[in-house]
Structure formats: C-alpha cells, structure tokens
Amino acid sequence: MVAGGVYIWPETVLRDAGWDAPWSVLISIGCALGLVYLSASWPPLAPGETEFGRMRTVWGPWRWPLFGAMLALYVPLDSVLMALFSHMLHQIFYPLTPRWIFMASIVAMVGWLASAPLSHIARNIQWWFPLIIGSFFLLAVMALTHFHEGVALMPAAHLRLWPIARGTVATWYLWMQGEVIVTVGGHVRGASWRQVRRWAVGAIAFQAVVVLIIYALVVGTLGPTISSTLEWPVIYIFSNLTVQTLFISRPSFFIIVAWVVALVLYLTIHLFVLSVNLQDGFQASEGYRWGVVWGLSLVEWILAQWWTTPLLATDVVIHLIDPVALALTVSTTILAPLILGVRRGNCLPRVARALGGRNSR
C-alpha cells in the first residue's frame, strides 16, 4: 500500500494534524495492528473459501450491501492511486507524455496479472519484493545525509484531540487491506490461521517501519512546514539524490522502477481479491472472474480520468474514502467475531479461543 500512498504521504497527516502528526501516525499504526489481528481471528469460526463466503455465515443477507460498500471504496481508491502515480510521472519526469498513456499501461499490466491464478501472482510478489524494498532502503540510507531537522519529529507538548483524530483518519488509506488477509489466508498451504495471523501482523508491523522511515526522512529533511505544502515530498527528496562515485549518478531511477512494480502488484492483488469474492458470490466460472477483472480495470481507468489534479485526488481519499473506510472496517472487524460467538451459543469462550489462536483452518 505504501507504493501508492507514498505519493501523498506524509503531506496529508501533516496538513490535518500539524505538530500532533506523530501521535496520529502512532495511533493509526496501533489501530492497524489491532484490526488486522482481529480480522485474522474470526475466519476459523466461519466456513468458506473467500471473505464473501465467510461473510455469508456472519452477516447473512446483509453480506451483499456490506461487500458492495467495500467495492465502492476500493475501486475509487485504486483509481485515485493510479491517477496520482500518472500525475507524478507526468509533472516531474515525463511532461511531454500524456497521462492516459501511463494509466493505460498500468491497467493493461494489472488486468493481465490479476487474471492469472493466485500462485502466479504470489510468485511475482515473491520475486519483486526484495528488489522493491532493497531499492527503498538503499535510497533511504543515502538520503540520511540530508537529515538535519530531528527536533521536528517531536510531537507537540500539549495534546489536541481533534487534530490527532483528523490526522489518524487522514492516514487510514495506508492500511486498507484487511480483506486480502481474510480471502487468501485460507489458501496458505500447511498453515493454521494462528500462523496466518502472526504473518499478517508481522507484515503490518514491517509496513509501519517503512511508513515511519518515510515520515522521519521527509520531516527531518524538509521540516513539517515545507513537508505539509510540498506536493510530492518523498519524490522530491529521492529524485534530487546524486552520487559522484557510481556509474549511475541519479539513483532515483531505482525507486521509480520499484514504485511502478509495487503499484502494479498492489492493484493486482486488490483486483484479484475482489474478483475472487464476486466469483464466489455468484458461484460463477473462471471466465466470469476474468471478465470481472477487466471490467473493474476499465472502471478504474475511467474514474482515474476524473481526478484531473493531484489536489482533487488527495481530497477524495482524505475527506471521502478514509472516514467511511475506517468506520466500516472498525465496525465489521469488531462485530464479526462477536456475532459468530453469539450465534454458536457460547460467545466469550469461543471468541477467546479464536483470538488465542487455538483454532486453525
């Protein structure tokens, strides 16, 4: 998720929380860890191969409007990230190339990959992840030479609840991925849900480290005032790195390639998960899933044309998608294990056993 969210991170949290931004970042990380822990705890109590299949046990006929709300959030979010990515490439690196070419290329790659089986997608992620994260850490270490605003990382002495709350909400787009765990967790060979939950929490913790590094690097290099007004703070830092001792003088080339691949893989796994759930919901064939993938890809491409400026795309995420997504995620993730426990007649012991990890697939 950081691959796409980085284009507006951490400008969004600084703009809404100001000097209280560190508290908002830490609270959002804690919420993400807790919700992911819960989201990987209730699936053992509900039969099914996908999230939609398990939602049938939990929500009954209400599963359709809930899944529809999820679809209405994730498709616009993915289109916004695609639009932000194309804006960044067009404005900073390739001003003579029309934006639609970037978006069309992404849609083609994402549609092709998302139509493949899960094993094919997993192998691609397994291959590219070390290269992506290695490129990021390489440039982050190089950028530390410009770090000189360490005091700016300290939070305000007096807590202000409303700015902290606004900043927490403005950060939520970084953590919108819980349905991936519920859908694909059951397909991990030879692993119990306790192991899946441990891996999922570990993945979110690792993502939190990346988020904190980016925040510290941007604020410690540019200061909170400039960071909150600069349109592409991370891109600005990485694209201005120069090295005089290597044959590649502008190492930002590495991070551009890494972000392209990471964004494509992120959009791919989202489309795959949405299409698999719809296929399960309609009990349809693999050909139906292929049509859903390309249909949703086309919808995302059309929506991406609407976000004509980076400011408009950012406002859609922060002021529309984030609040609704946070409310939906918190309510459904907390209620799901409680509803399952009540329906099975012994709520607290069953929920405690699920959270303790003694239930497996």
Question: What would the pLDDT profile of 64-109 be if each residue is shown by its tens digit?
Answer: 999 999 999 999 999 998 998 888 888 877 888 888 899 999 999 9
* 278 and 290 Cβ atoms separated by less than 8 Å: no
Rounded Cα distance between 38 and 263, Å, is 26
The whole model's pTM is what?
Answer: 0.86
The pLDDT score that the predictor gives to residue 346 is 54
Which range is least confidently modeled, 33-37, 74-78, 252-256, 304-308?
252-256
Sign, Cα dihedral of 147, 149, 151, 156: negative
Question: What would the pLDDT profile of 109-145 be if each residue is shown by its tens digit?
Answer: 999 999 999 999 999 988 988 888 888 888 888 888 7
Q: Which CATH fold would you assign to the domain 2-356? A: Amino acid/polyamine transporter I (1.20.1740)
Rounded Cα distance between 38 and 313, Å, is 31
Sign, Cα dihedral of 197, 335, 324, 118: positive
The pLDDT score that the predictor gives to residue 109 is 93
Which range is least confidently modeled, 76-85, 220-229, 313-322?
220-229
HSE (CB half, 13 Å, CA atoms) of 56?
12
Q: How many CB atoms lie within 10 A of CB 209?
A: 10
Which range is least confidently modeled, 66-80, 191-205, 219-233?
219-233
Mean pLDDT of 343-354: 57
Which residue has tokens 């409680």? 338
Residue 244 structure tokens: 């005089």
Hey, where are the domains in the chain? 2-356
**Which helix (H) or strand (E) segment is 37 a member of?**
helix 21-39
Integer-rounded Cα Rg, in Å, for the chain is 21
Q: Return mean pLDDT, the chain.
A: 84
Phi and psi torsions of 155, nearest 5°: -75, 165
**Maximum pairwise Cα distance, the chain:** 69
Percent of the chain's residues with pLDDT above 70 = 89
